[in-house]
Structure formats: C-alpha cells, structure tokens
Amino acid sequence: VKACLSRIEETEPETKALLAVNADEALKLAEEMDSNGPDASKPLWGVPVVIKDALATKGIPTTCGSKILQGFTPFYDATAVAKLKEAGAIIIAKANMDEFAMGSTTENSAYKTTTNPWDSSRVPGGSSGGSGATIASGQCFAALGTDTGGSIRLPASFCGCVGVKPTYGRVSRYGLIAYGSSLDQIGPMTRTVEDSARILNVIGGHDNRDSTSVDCEMPDFVASLAERTDLTGLTIGLPEEYWGEGLSEEVSEACRAAITKAEELGAKTVPVKFSMTDYAIATYYIIAMAEASSNLSRFDGIRYGHRSKDAKELIDLYTKSRTEAFGDEVQRRIIIGTYVLSAGYYDAYYRKAAQIRRLLREDFRKAFESCDLIAGPACPTTAFPVGELTADPLQMYLMDIFTISLNLVGMPGMSLPVGIGKDTNMPVGLQLMAPAFEEKIMLQAANVLE
C-alpha cells in the first residue's frame, strides 16, 4: 500500500487518473492486516486496488465523473467492491472516468482529463480511462472498470493493459451507477491475464440484489489457466468486417502478427461473416441513450448531489439542478434518448434498434458455430492526441465500432496487449470474444498468447 501511494504521488500530477485517494483508511487497514498476519483464506489479501468511480464505495466519495454527484458519499458498497474487500483487497482510490461512463477518452469527466501514461499528450481511452491509466502507471495492481460499449476494452488497448468485459450477468451490477442497464458490465483491468482471472474469480457469481445476475457455474479461472499451454484444437474466427476498411495500418499489423503467433501455437483460423456490423453503432447509441435518459431521471436535485440554489418551485428546481450539473455530452444523450423513446418516434428508432439487436445476436450465434473464439482489433487506432476528437461526437462514437456489438449481444470479450504501433509508438490491443459464459477458454487462450 505504501509503495502504491508513493507511486501515486509521483505519477498523479501528470496522469490525473484518480478522483478520491483513500490513503489514510488504506494505510490503517494495511497496518491492521499486517499485525494480524497473512490470511490464506483471502485470495487478494493486502492487494491494493482502484475502483472506477461509477461503483458505490462505502465511505469514499463516488461521483461517476459528474458534478451532479459532487459531495455524495455512499453508505454501502457495490457487490463487486464488497467481494473484493471480503477477499482481502484494499481500496486505495477511485478512478476518473467520462461523466456517467459516456465517452471513449475520459475527456468528458467533469473533474479532470486523465492522460495516457505512455505519452501524456494522448488520451488513455474511456470511459474507464482512469482505471487503464492507474494500471499503466503502476499505481496499483488491479482496477475495476465498467463496459457498456467498450469502456474496459478500449482504455485497456490504449494503455497497454489487460481488460476483461465478462458476460452480461456474470458480475452483479448492484451498486453500479446505471448508464445502459441492459449493456453495463463490471470487469477487471490488470497488467496480466492471470491477474484478471484472479479478480474475476472474486467478483463473479450470482447476487440476488441484481435480478439480471445469472446463477451460472463459476470455474476457477486462475487454476484453469494451467490446463492450456498451447492453442491446439482451438478455432479462431476472423470477421472480415473487423479487419478491413477504417483500420489503421499499425493496428492491423500488430494484430495480424498476434494471429500468426496464435496459428504457430496451434490455433486454426477461419473467416467468419457478420451481416449487421454496419448498423451496430446506430443501434447501440439508440439503445444506450434511451436507457440512459431513463436511468438519469433519478438525478433530480432532491435525492442526491447538486441542488440549484436559485430555484423558485419544483419544476424549476429539477430543471436548474440538471442544467447546472450535467455536462454537455450527458445532456445531449438525455435529449436524444428521450426523443427515441417518445410516442411517435419509438417505432422508428427504439423498436428498430431492438430488432437489429436481435439480428446481431443471430450473427454471433452463427459465427460461433464454426469457431471457439472470435478475434479482431479492439479499436481502429492507437491512443490519439488529447483534444483531437472532442469537437466531433460522431467521430468519437465511431471509435466504438469493434467493441459495441458484444455489449448488445451480452457476450464476453477482452483486450490483450499485443505490441506497439510502428507509427505512434503506442500500445495495440487484440480483442478476443467468446460465447456467453465462456470466459474460461478466452482467458486461457489470452494467457497462452500473452
């Protein structure tokens, strides 16, 4: 804990990965644990971890990157956080993020812009950019992120760390401040595949406080890594749509080299075909914004956080509090989300999106008939300069092209660092995707490839 806190002191002025640092509590807890001696029943005994600020942490301010929650300190822990604590982990800080997880670069945080530890003129990715940067700068050993449309995989790829989005329902969302409830998943961001497996072992499993959490088998993801030392017998599907147009040359090259390595290690590769990829971005943004507009209605200036000082009556209080404290991107999404759900437009937008979502699921089901895993780049480019895309939200949304389909279909995926781009000298992430609840084989393959 001491080493991590001093690393935070050293790197934080430039990286700005963190919102609240829980230094005193963490040190106190670590001292207590030291004096009681190691506890072998706790798999994460004494491990310093950082939590994305979208998760409720008892006694530690939780803002979700928004001014509307400034000053909010939860009186309970999210289930994933409670499970980490039970396993002996020590929460040392909360990680910066795009406001309400809406963004791909962490530039939408209401508090600060996190920079990429590999090159501070570039973005760390988002929305879990604080979690990616805290790992890449060595501030802690594991972080939790959340992934609604790529927010774990994208910053993992930009920061050169491992990031895993589990199957929808694998990890309880209790205590996660909701963005798109049918898409949101919590997952680990770490330096190695094995560390991610360690965290998933702890945070996964059924929780009756989240009705979408699934009572599924929880394999020992760490122990199962040893079952595989090569990729013999494994078929990897390569979707044409992920490897062609729009992909930068350096990302393509690094990812192709990783696929060649997979073949050398015994994997067979086959082409797979998706028919719905062209519609994925539109579909995702309609569904995510619709759900966000509904989820964010709870921030009314009365129950939590910011309350306008000069409101005259109730509606005025709602309007002023929300206008003052929600950032531009959040307001844009609430407006679009409300629009696509409104009478007269629902059929044209939301219903269509729900239909395409169903067809996407069909795409993936068919693709997995001929392979065990699907591989492609996590993002079309490596980390780009801070400010480059902030004026153009549409360009920003296009960054999610390779990650969002998986959230729409609920399946697990991860980003694995596979090299450095020859043009930008920034890390490249290969994305591996698996059928629902097949994280074990995905982590095994990643561990072999690492």
The minimum distance between CB 126 and ligand GLN, in angstroms, equals 7
- If one counts every other C-beta atom within 10 angstroms of the C-beta of residue 331, the result is 13
Should residue 353 be labelled a site residue for ligand GLN when binding is judged by CB under 6 A?
Answer: no
| 156 belongs to the binding site for ligand GLN (CB under 6 A) | no
Q: Which two tokens stand for residue 265?
A: 């290690």
Q: Could you say whether residue 389 binds ligand GLN (CB under 6 A)?
A: no
Contact 111, 135 (CB under 8 A): no
150 near ligand GLN, rule: CB under 6 A: yes
Return the number of the residue (103 or 237) whose C-beta is nearest ligand GLN.
103
> Among residues 148, 213, 381, 415, which is the contact residue for ligand GLN, using CB under 6 A?
148
What are phi and psi for residue 119, nearest 5 degrees?
-165, 110
Q: Is 103 in the site for ligand GLN (CB under 6 A)?
A: yes
Burial 414-449 (b: 16+ CB within 10 A, else e): bbbbbbbbeebebbbbbbbbbbbbbbbbbbbbbbbb
Q: Please pick, among 66, 104, 109, 127, the residue that the annotation labels catalytic.
A: 127
Examine the residue annotation and report whether 151 is marked as an active-site residue of this protein.
yes
| Other beta carbons less than 10 A from residue 194's beta carbon | 16
Residue 336's CB: how many other CB atoms inside 10 A? 18
Pick the stretch among 39-47, 102-110, 408-416, 421-429 that binds ligand GLN (CB under 6 A): 102-110
CB of 94 to ligand GLN, least distance (A): 16
With CB under 6 A as the contact rule, the residue among 47, 81, 82, 102 that binds ligand GLN is 102
According to CB under 6 A, which one of 15, 57, 79, 104 is a site residue for ligand GLN? 104
Residues facing residue 55 across a β-bridge: 176
The residues pairing with 188 across neighbouring beta strands, listed in sequence order, are 144
193, 162 contact by CB (below 8 A): yes
Site for ligand GLN in 275-294 (CB under 6 A): 288
Nearer to ligand GLN, 153 or 198 (CB): 153
Is the CB of 98 or the CB of 241 nearer to ligand GLN?
98
Least distance to ligand GLN, CB of residue 81, Å:
18
One symbol per residue from 114 to 133: x for binding ligand GLN (CB under 6 A), - otherwise; what is it?
A: -------------x------
65 forms part of the interface with ligand GLN (CB under 6 A): no
Burial of 311: CB neighbours in 10 Å, binned 0-12, 13-18, 19+: middle
Residues 139 and 13 sit within 8 Å (Cβ to Cβ): no
Kindly determine how many residues on this chain lie close enough to bind ligand GLN according to the rule CB under 6 A.
13
The residue among 100 and 368 lying less far from ligand GLN, judged by its C-beta, is 100
Rg from Cα positions in the chain? 21
Q: Is 297 a catalytic residue?
A: no
Q: Are 363 and 276 in contact (CB under 8 A)?
A: yes
> Which residue's CB is nearer to ligand GLN, number 141 or number 326?
326
Stretch that binds ligand GLN, among 98-106, 301-309, 373-381, 413-421 (CB under 6 A): 98-106
Task: Pick the closer one to ligand GLN by CB: 291 or 372.
Answer: 291
Q: Which residues contact 400 (CB under 8 A, 6 or more apart)?
A: 104, 149, 150, 154, 281, 284
Active site residue 52: yes
Query: Cα separation of 420 and 382, whole Å?
Result: 9
Please identify which of the residues 66, 131, 151, 415 carries the catalytic annotation. 151
Q: Does 151 bind ligand GLN (CB under 6 A)?
A: yes
Distances (CA, A) of 296 to 33, 66, 99, 207, 293: 39, 12, 12, 24, 5
Measured distance CA(65)–CA(13) in Å, rounded: 18
Q: What is the DSSP letter of 177?
A: P
Q: Token pair 């679009």 is at which residue? A: 336
DSSP 198-250: HHHHHHBS--TTSTT--------TTGGGGG-SS-TT-EEEEEHHHHSTT--HH
Piece of 149-157, 166-174, 359-367, 382-390 that binds ligand GLN (CB under 6 A)? 149-157
Least distance (Å) between residue 302 CB and ligand GLN: 26
User: Any contact of residue 149 with ligand GLN (CB under 6 A)?
Assistant: yes
- Pick between residue 179 and residue 299 the one whose CB is nearest to ligand GLN: 179
Q: How far is the CB of 167 from ligand GLN (least distance, A)?
A: 15
**Minimum CB distance to ligand GLN smaller for 74 or for 155:** 155
**Cα gap 68→65, rounded to integer Å:** 9
Which residue numbers are catalytic? 52, 127, 151
Residues of this chain that interact with ligand GLN (CB under 6 A) are 101-104, 127, 147-151, 179, 288, 400
